[in-house]
Amino acid sequence: DPDALIEVSFDGIVGPSHNFAGLSVGNVASTENDGSVSNPRGAALQGLRKMRAVRDLGVTVAVLPPQLRPHVPTLRTLGFTGSDEVILKRVAEKHPHLLRLVSSASAMWSANAATVSPGSDTLDGRVHIVPANLRTMFHRAIEAETTRDVLRAIFGDPSRFVVHEPLPGGAHYSDEGAANHTRLYASDGNGNQDRATHLFAWGRSTWGSSELQPKHFPARQTREASEALARLLSLDSDRAVFPQQHPDGIDRGAFHTDVLAVGTGSFFMLHELAFLDHEALLERLKRSIGDSFRAIVATEADLPVADAVAAYPFNSQVLVLPGGDMAIVAPTESEENPRARAFLERVVESDNPVKRIIYLDVRQSMKNGGGPACLRQRIPLRPSEIALMSARVIFDVSLEAQLTAWVEKHYRDKLEPKDLSDPSLYQESLTALDELSRILVLGSVYEFQR
């Protein structure tokens, strides 16, 4: 089928303020590396190298831009006045933690940007995209509006794309995006996808139900948000499954589903502490998808959650390659951890479509608790839909060269927490993002451009 779905990997470009501020409670790597010196230029170039490696496998890769940080508009909303420089100085002196919050480059983890359903799955035949509100964490909640505007700049044709508003309503509808969403389907081997099932995982229910809850770390995604997403994504009710994240998994550092589970097509790999009653979930998926469904489960004895959280084998990219085989792109930490490596080798040796593992260095992201899967948003599109995208975001050789030169021109190779109050860092970011929006033909997606 010449217009069969292609899963496009939209990777987040690491931002100029990439730093280690330990802001994400429940994310073990983030809190452990609090205060370390970061390398924004190195991090961004690592991300571009990962994009190239994935593209060289025959996968279509696209980019999402960073957001402006420090986000001075948020500080103005909180009552700070004066010039940008005066505000940054005042906040650094009186409210240093707030400065760290508005300086996070966390939009680089574009798995949290949105949740998507392709036109083949939806009731109206259009691609539906819901930007995540990320309400659990302040430093991430301030991303939602710019994410919406960027996605609307890319997917501008209303006859084929719907970019919704983020979910409203504080903690009640807390939505973490595709990090808690998995799309599985049966494939005929020719690119045609059948019986797609959307797995919307959640950690807590808002309205007083008695289900088990984590005791130490916050459950970020609510069941109510997951159910709202299924409605907004225009899915038939029998296409959606709502498993609960295992509270013990959350308490041990699996703050999102993609820390302990990943899959695409008819393949799914997961840890036994990814979901409550994972056996029942796998039975349901087997019934939905059919005989081609393959699942590989890691037990606590095989692969302790502590190793899974440290090495992130499940936060890998599972890629469908030209020809139908799959490959797993895993962080080098998984290669270096004997139990994680043994599990991934067992995956390749088992009866499933995964034929190879590729290990990549994304250490600057990993130190903040984000592996290869965090850095990308899967958006299944038909070639005719890719042709309708309004911006220049497909990661081809020409764009790679321009982005590499752009990073080397604008990014620092060393950033300490004290540097966040440097007004010149803010000006560097303004200049860099203004130039980037022209390279990507995005228009005026940032507040400072309007």
Annotated catalytic residues are 176, 256, 374
Helices (H), 208-316: 223-232, 247-251, 278-289, 305-311
Find, among 370, 301, 312, 362, the residue nearest to 340 by Cα: 312
| Cα–Cα distances in angstroms (integers) from residue 412 to residues 15, 42, 364, in the given order | 11, 9, 14
Strand order in the sheet with 294-298: 261-264, 267-271, 294-298
DSSP assignments along 263-290, one per residue: EEBTEEEEETTSBTTHHHHHHHHHHHH-
Residue 247 gets the label, from left (phi > 0), alpha (psi -120 to 50) or beta, of alpha
Assigned token pair, 198? 């959307």
The residue behind tokens 């919050």 is: 101
Assigned token pair, 27? 């994310």
Find, among 316, 365, 364, 368, the residue nearest to 337 by Cα: 316
Residue 330 CA to residue 328 CA, distance in Å, equals 6
Amino acid 87 reads: I
Q: Is the separation of the CB atoms in 212 and 231 below 8 Å? A: no
Cα angle at 357 between 351 and 360, to 5 degrees?
160
Q: Exposed e or buried b for every residue in 76-101, given b needs 16+ CB within 10 A?
A: eeeebeeebeebbbbbbeeeeebbbb
Q: Exposed e or buried b for every residue in 266-281, given b needs 16+ CB within 10 A?
A: bbbbbbbbbbbebeeb
